Structure 1
């Protein structure tokens, strides 16, 4: 079963402000005569690549529950979590720090798996996502905040 990532107002506005700030730099690079053509081209390509990556992260984030694992796609980045390695799911919370947080909204799920690993996701509906996971592994501890 596939779940798209929920998008809230704060994250949407933040993404678009950052994207617009990056893209507004490009015309100013070409207006100024202080840089060489090679530098202008390099910076334009770099900023366009960063913008494309940000768009793919925002619109290409989803979670797919298979028979034994969760596939997490965050733009071009793909990860998998074995469902039998999940110890606990904390619902309706936000994880502010962490290595990889493939989420586009607050009040999502923190999935604790393996011994010390955890990941934050934001499926469209937390309740339905948890129900589907529990069908596969009913021993997962669910904590609601």
Structure 2
């Protein structure tokens, strides 16, 4: 967790197998086409850009608590969740797609049954900070 000017940043926990997938994808999609004799703009569009996005997601996934909101950052995408709208937190293991780089996740149920999974590296500290703002959150372990 990093704190600056009233903001708290929690980087995503990163599993080894997820690391392998992202770096393998980046290698296949960036390095191999760049070394090709047939390197062209088509390769840049179809291979290198997705490879760079994969790296961007890997390097930039995390969660900020600012005032009474969580800003979920997943590569180039950002989502906001009002902490007062969070009803329930679930400890889950899930490999499915979500703004998380680990299967060791927290599921957030918020505002009218919306659900998102995240994987802060320091889950316990993250949950404590949420509970400081909204003590009504139910935690399912």
Q: What's the TM-score once normalised by structure 2's chain length?
A: 0.85
Q: Larger % of strand: which? A: 2
Which residue pairs with 1:110 in the alignment? Answer: 107
Name the Cα RMSD after superposition: 1.8
Contact 2:56 2:76 in 1 (8 A): yes
Gaps of 5+ in 1: 32-36
Q: Secondary structure at the match of 2:121?
A: coil
1:81-100 equivalent positions in 2, closer than 5 A: 81-91=81-91, 93-97=92-96
1:50-89 equivalent positions in 2, closer than 5 A: 50-89=50-89
- Write the distance in 2 (CA, Å) between the matches of 1:13 and 1:128: 27
Contact 1:94 1:110 in 2 (8 A): no
Contact 1:94 1:120 in 2 (8 A): no
Deviating 4+ runs (over 6 angstroms): none
1:125-144 equivalent positions in 2, closer than 5 A: 125-144=122-141
1:19-38 equivalent positions in 2, closer than 5 A: 19-23=26-30, 25-27=32-34, 30-31=37-38
Contact 1:63 1:70 in 2 (8 A): yes
Q: CA deviation at 1:54?
A: 0.7
Find the structure with the greater CA-based Rg.
Answer: 1
- Write the distance in 2 (CA, Å) between the matches of 1:130 and 1:79: 18
Q: What's the TM-score once normalised by structure 1's chain length?
A: 0.83
State how many pairs are aligned. Answer: 134
Which residue pairs with 2:116 in the alignment? Answer: 119
Contact 1:88 1:141 in 2 (8 A): yes
